[in-house]
Amino acid sequence: MRALSSLRSSLRVRLTLWYVGALALVLLGFSAGGYLVVERSLHDRVDARLTSTLQAAAALLRARSASGDAGGWSAALQEARTPSQTLAIVDGGGQVLAQVSGSEGPPLRRPAAGLNPTENAQFYELPESAPESDDSCRGATQRLASGASAGASLVVVESLEPLSDELDLLLNVLYIVVPATLLLAGGGGWLLARRALAPVTAMAEHVRQITAQSMEQRVEIVNPRDEIGRLAATFNDLLARLSASLSQQRQFMADASHELRTPLSAIRTTSAVMLERNDREKDEYREALTIVEQESRRLSRIVADMFLLARADAGHPTLQRTDFYLDELLAETGRAAAVLATQKNLRLEVAVAAESPLSGDAGLLRQMIWNLLDNAIKHTPPGGRVRVTLDALDTEYSIRVVDTGGGIPADLQAAVFERFRRVDEARSHRSGTEAGGAGLGLPIARWIAEAHHGRLELQSSTATGSTFAVFLPRT
């Protein structure tokens, strides 16, 4: 049963059945149409022969009546008939006055009583009088209007058995040709479908063997210009994206483990040291708790950022949109960041455009701006400057954060928005600071900008500082 179900679901079988079914409809339609055309043509030929015989006989009877030869009816009929016909003259009472039959002529069968002959030919058809009698015929009758035979009717009959034999032969041929054609077409269609789908089967088998440990394998492309080749190329692109995603996930897990291990190790070490002795001073306990509190805060921030990015990757977070003024939000965030700047002896400048209404998630946008300001303050040496500007363009707002730090090396600028990717060492060396962080601030900031249909870019980064720019649509 499973084999039968699998056979029905096979694409080769379905293609073959569709092909054979379509061909069967065409052949049946063509056969039925051809049969009807041939039948109509044969009947028209019979009617033409009957009409010709009636006209010839009527003309001969009129000629003999005009010459005074009223008794030559049989001779006239004999002269007009054909070997496959029977002619007769019947008076008004139904009595046969004269009759002649050809060598293949059928028995005389007159029309039904309801058919009244006129001066124009009238046709009738009679089936076999009994099974196996083979006396089906088609006839024509016409009333004679002049001469000695005036008032009588001329009747001509031709057997339909030859016509039936020809139609039977045509049917027998169709009964053999149509099934044979469908069988040949089905077999050929099956072979063609099998050959055409063989690369797909091989591709499916190859893809089935690819695992997470062998994501570098690719499907072989035989002909990149046909549909199968394009399908294989699409598979390879999908495998490349999956491989990159899996590699990114593994890297994310490794980096996350490393980042989480550092504060946990500091907490565990501090606790272990403090528990080694029972006679610690109050200041020692305070210092230890301060370290634990700082590392716990850092650990909570990393976990919160990772949770936010994980929900963003899964497509679950929804924006809590409200209407607010972006200039006010930027000014508030700037005042909060000014505390950090003052502690580090930096000058923080905020220049915003007035009346900048926006609809979006104010909480996420505040986090985005804070991440950019925190990043700029961390990597700007004491005595430097951080400047924030907000400009209202035609269709979007432009937020720029400019610092006077040491910049980002050119070979690391392309990776600055990658998760857990930090260039602190290079920037700290140039700025003379010790910058910390898990490397999630910029990735989160970029995601928030993109969630609002905007974008975050690193516009420039040189030895004299860096410029990050956020563009948010105004509507």
pLDDT digits 0-9 by tens, 49-87: 988 888 888 888 877 765 545 557 778 888 887 888 888
Closest to 440 measured CA to CA, from 467, 463, 421, 468 = 421
The pLDDT of residue 400 is 93
Q: Amino acid letter at 42?
A: L
Q: Per CATH, which fold does 227-314 belong to? A: Helix Hairpins (1.10.287)
- Under CATH, domain 322-473 is a member of which superfamily? Histidine kinase-like ATPase, C-terminal domain (3.30.565.10)
Q: Amino acid letter at 185?
A: A
- What is the CATH class of 2-167? alpha beta
Range(s) for CATH 3.30.565.10 in the chain?
A: 322-473
Cα-based torsion angle of the residue sequence 299, 300, 304, 310 in order, rounded to the nearest 10 degrees: 40
The pLDDT of residue 83 is 85
The three-state DSSP-derived secondary structure of the chain is CHHHHHHHHCHHHHHHHHHHHHHHHHHHHHHHHHHHHHHHHHHHHHHHHHHHHHHHHHHHHHHHHHCCCCCCHHHHHHHHCCCCEEEEEECCCCCEEEEEECCCCCCCCCCCCCCCCCCCCEEEEECCCCCCCCCCEEEEEEECCCCCCCCCEEEEEEECHHHHHHHHHHHHHHHHHHHHHHHHHHHHHHHHHHHHHHHHHHHHHHHHCCCHHHCCCCCCCCCCCCHHHHHHHHHHHHHHHHHHHHHHHHHHHHHHHHHHHHHHHHHHHHHHHHHCCCCCCHHHHHHHHHHHHHHHHHHHHHHHHHHHHHHHHHCCCCCCCEEEEHHHHHHHHHHHHHHHHHHCCCEEEEEECCCCEEEECHHHHHHHHHHHHHHHHHCCCCCCEEEEEEEECCCEEEEEEEECCCCCCHHHHHHCCCCCCCCHHHHHHHHCCCCCCCCCHHHHHHHHHHHCCCEEEEEEEECCEEEEEEEEECC
Answering whether pTM is above 0.85, one says no
Range(s) for CATH 3.30.450 in the chain?
A: 2-167
Q: Please report, in tens digits, the pLDDT of each residue of the chain (475 residues total).
A: 444 454 445 777 888 888 888 989 999 999 999 999 999 999 999 999 988 888 888 888 877 765 545 557 778 888 887 888 888 888 877 788 888 888 788 888 877 765 777 778 888 888 887 777 777 888 888 888 765 556 688 889 988 888 888 999 999 999 999 999 989 988 888 888 788 777 777 777 777 777 777 777 777 777 777 777 888 888 788 888 887 777 767 766 766 676 677 778 888 888 888 888 777 788 888 888 888 888 888 787 777 777 777 776 666 566 788 999 999 999 999 888 888 888 889 999 988 877 889 999 898 899 899 989 988 998 899 999 999 999 988 899 999 999 998 888 877 777 787 766 665 544 443 433 334 456 777 888 888 898 889 999 998 888 888 999 999 998 7
Range(s) for CATH 1.10.287.130 in the chain?
A: 227-314
